[in-house]
Structure 1
Amino acid sequence: METLSAGFWPMWELHLSDQLESDVIAQAEHLANRLSVPVSITSTDAITQKCRTSDHQGMIAKMSPFPYASTQDLFQKQTKSPLYLVLDRIQDPYNFGAMIRSAEVLGTHGIFVGTDEQCEVTSLVCRTSVGALNRIPIAQTPDLVQLCHDLKNKGVCVVGTTMHAQQSLSEYDFQQPTAVIVGNEGTGIQAALLEKCSHLVRIPQQGKTESLNVAVSAGILLYEANRQRHFS
């Protein structure tokens, strides 16, 4: 419903269960008609067969490939002090979707992802983000190292996260133009990207567990940025 409402990700066809409440069907049909999306009312069993799972909530859509933005699309947006999230080889769709959701909720202006070893935007990513990926631009680039170089040339500080950094995230000034990098679930940020960082920060930890989940780390970093920008 969020994807229909946003009208951003092109939908080719929509199938609705005849077991849905009548007002839900009416709302979905109204939104689909607005976008000229053909709608089919069918049985729950037929939808289960189409998507090979019973966890479909009575709706299934055939989608076009996800419309990634370009890096230039994000650079051209007129933003006084942009805040970006850069994802380095995130492979778990749950993590990817959760970070998209946090980024949109916490006022991030855009997300950059690479093309190598990076989870694509899938139905699972969309559901995990609760549709937030329709509300924030996600740019795909083949070279994250070059991206960091370009960001710095545009006056954007590139901030990497590592538990060995001397500076705590609360000591960094997030009110300046900033791109925050979070790295792969297993190996973290690749060395070539760390070398491109303007600053390295750490999330203070008191427990004995070695590290935080990457989606949780991203949420903490973006929360601190949002706090400094709007509540400090």
Structure 2
Amino acid sequence: MSSHQVLAGFHAVTARLRHAPESIKELYVEASRRDKRMQALIEQAQAAKVRVRPVPAERLDGLAHGTRHQGVVALAQAHALAVDVDEVLDLLEGKEPALLLILDGVTDPHNLGACLRTADAAGVHAVIAPRDRAVGLNTTVQRVACGAADTVPYIMVTNLARTMRRLKERDVWLVGADDQAEAGIHQVDARRPMAWVMGAEGEGMRRLTRETCDELVSIPMRGSVESLNVSVASAVCLYESVRQRRQP
């Protein structure tokens, strides 16, 4: 991953200004836009001592490389979050049970952005994906994630099955979402250290990923659609975990 990144849109930029303003090298705004939302962003940037450069919309289009930018683009250093699964678990040891999300084969940046946004809302400690079949944290992901890419570690690993086995060695229970499974998500004890494992739309989890899971469960559906989008499925599973963990 490059040490620099492009942040496009109000959500991605304001989140970075809130969490790590020192990482922003340049903030470009559309010169002709003077509404309250833009003014609030400029004031936030100035308070954080970030340089603001008004430019034509055409310049923003070029900086954003086709991503919808809403008149706001920032050039920033990649924000340092946890880069290793063991680092995440070490930080949690003795504090709270781990809650992780593993995505096997998610290549759509909109899906990844939505998964990161849900993960942030649910208090997930890290999202894990393989390097060979996954989208990275590109500009579209940053925009759709609405700032969650700056708060939830996204850890890409060389060998997903090996990483999952490492999690098991550290007492993390691996639960795979599979529409053919007999057990349902409400039968999962989500209060323990655990990771939800999701596959890509259509294909689902790869065979080795599925076989490495400790448990497979299905998500009950009352509607007429045949399958759930991976971002929706992850939201259902993560919020079931939150519900259980909040019970006395």
Counterparts of 2:158 and 2:22 in 1: how far apart (Å)?
22
CA distance in 2, matches of 1:203, 1:187: 16
Residue 43 of structure 2 is matched in structure 1 by 26
In the alignment, what sits opposite 2:70?
57
Instruction: State how far apart, in whole Å, the 1-side matches of 2:189 and 2:100 are.
Output: 14
- Give, as a single letter, the amino acid of the residue that structure 2 aligns with 1:70: D
Amino acid of the structure 1 residue aligned with 2:174: V
Q: What is the correspondence of 1:31-46 to structure 2 with a 5 Å cutoff?
A: 31=48, 33=49, 37-46=50-59
CA-based RMSD = 2.1
**Deviation per CA, 1:43-62, whole angstroms, max 9, x where unpaired?**
33432344355942221122
Shift in CA distance, 189/89, structure 1 to aligned 2, threshold 3 Å: same
- Quote the Cα distance in structure 1 between the aligned partners of 2:247 and 2:201: 31
User: What's the CA shift for 1:229?
Assistant: 0.6
Give ranges in structure 2 of 5+ residues lacking alignment: 1-13
Equivalent residue, structure 1, for 2:60: 47
Q: How far is 1:76 from its partner?
A: 1.5
Q: Which amino acid aligns with 1:47?
A: L
Q: Relative to structure 1, is the Cα distance of residues 141 and 9 closer, same or farther in structure 2, using a 3 angstrom cutoff?
A: farther
Quote the offset at 1:25 in angstroms. 1.6
What TM-score comes out, normalization by structure 2 length?
0.84
Q: Write out aligned runs for 1:124-135 (5 A).
A: 124-135=140-151
Match of 2:138 among 108, 114, 122: 122
Alignment match, 1:12: 25
Contact 1:74 1:139 in 2 (8 A): no
Find out whether 1:181 has 2:194 as its counterpart: no
Measured in 1, the distance between the counterparts of 2:194 and 2:21 equals: 26
Q: Distance in 2 between matches of 1:54 and 1:211?
A: 29
Among 88, 96, 100, the alignment partner of 2:116 is: 100
C-alpha distance in structure 2 between counterparts of 1:139 and 1:77, whole Å: 15
What are the superposed Cα offsets for residues 109-150 of structure 1, whole Å, 9 maximum, x if unpaired? 111111012001111111111111111222221111011101
- Percent sequence identity is 28
Partners of 1:204 and 1:54 in 2: CA distance = 35
Give 2:121's aligned amino acid. V
* Unmatched 5+ stretches in structure 1: none
1:73 aligns with 2:87: yes
Preserved contact between residue 91 and residue 185 of structure 1 (Cα < 8 Å): no
In the alignment, structure 1 residue 172 sits paired with structure 2 residue 188: yes
Q: Report the count of equivalent residues.
A: 228
Q: 1:206: how far off?
A: 3.2
Contact kept? 2:106, 2:133, Cα under 8 Å: yes
In 2, Cα distance between equivalents of 1:197 and 1:52: 39
Distance in 2 between residues matched to 1:26 and 1:113, nearest whole Å: 37
1:50 and 1:81 map into 2 onto residues whose CA distance is 41
